Structure formats: structure tokens, C-alpha cells
Amino acid sequence: MLEIILNSLDECNNFSKRFSKTLKNGDVISLVGDLGAGKTTFTKFLGKNLGIGEDITSPTFNLVNLYSGKFEFNHMDLYRIDSPEELYQIDYENYFYPDGITVIEWAENADYLLPKNLIELEILKISENSRKIVIKGNNKRELEIIEELQ
């Protein structure tokens, strides 16, 4: 398990830069945390550090936004999904098994459809400016990333 405390937006950006260097084509990242924990902020930093030039916005209403940079970058927000079956309408396999990288907010709403090597980052709000990032190491890919970040 890896736990990192971030006390400012600069520290969040620096962590996302380090994290981005561990990623490879086909990675799917789940961001878990309460509303306001910083999932979209982290995604914006991550996208920027992966060479996305345009502004990354939350895809809450259209479920997925697509960007191009160092990798194809898919940003999904499943907050409004009530059941995994709703994802059949959007060809979810393209995003869960991507040619590029996918970041999913509220991935738990996809339940059993999620890939087994999902990289889960839990973002916990400690105070107005501080967050804790937790990577548990539940699968091979998470363990590889933890090793690279330590």
C-alpha cells in the first residue's frame, strides 16, 4: 500500500507528474472519493502531464470526453450511472480496454464490468487544502506503480 499526503495544488500537480511517468498504454485508472475530494482536479493535472494541451472538463453529462496527447486520453465520469448495464449503450469496452489511457471518476458504478487490472487511487479530503492519495496494491499493475513511485 502507498499513502501520500498532498498539502497544496502544486504538490498534487507534482504527484500527478510522477504518477504519469508510471503509466503505459492500456492503463485504466479509477479515482475514488467523495464529491469535492479533487478527482477532476487530479485528472486535469494528469492530462496536462500526459501532454494534453486543451482544457480537461468533467464529462458528467456526456459520460466520456476524449483527448489526444502522449496517449489517447479518455476521461469518464460515471456519477449519473445507476447500473452497469447502462454502459452497454456507449461501447464501454473501448474505454475499459483502451488504446491509450482511461481515467474513470465514480468507477464503482460500473461494478463487474471493470477490468481486473484497474489502477485505483482513493482521494481522501483531509482539510480544505490537503488530500491523501491511497493506492492499495490490489493487483499486479497497482503493485508495479507503487514500486515505481517509492
Q: Which residues contact 47 (CB under 8 A, 6 or more apart)?
A: 56, 67, 69, 73, 75, 103
The alpha carbon of 147 is separated from its chain's Cα centroid by a whole number of angstroms, namely 18
pTM of the model: 0.93
Residue 141 belongs to domain spanning: 2-149
Domain total in the chain: 1
Residue 65 is given by DSSP the state E
pLDDT tens digits, 40-95: 999 999 999 999 999 998 887 788 999 998 889 999 999 999 999 999 988 899 99
How far apart, in whole angstroms, are the C-alpha atoms of residue 79 and residue 53?
25
CATH number at residue 43: 3.40.50.300
Q: Residue 44's pLDDT is what?
A: 96
CB 37 within 8 A of CB 123: yes
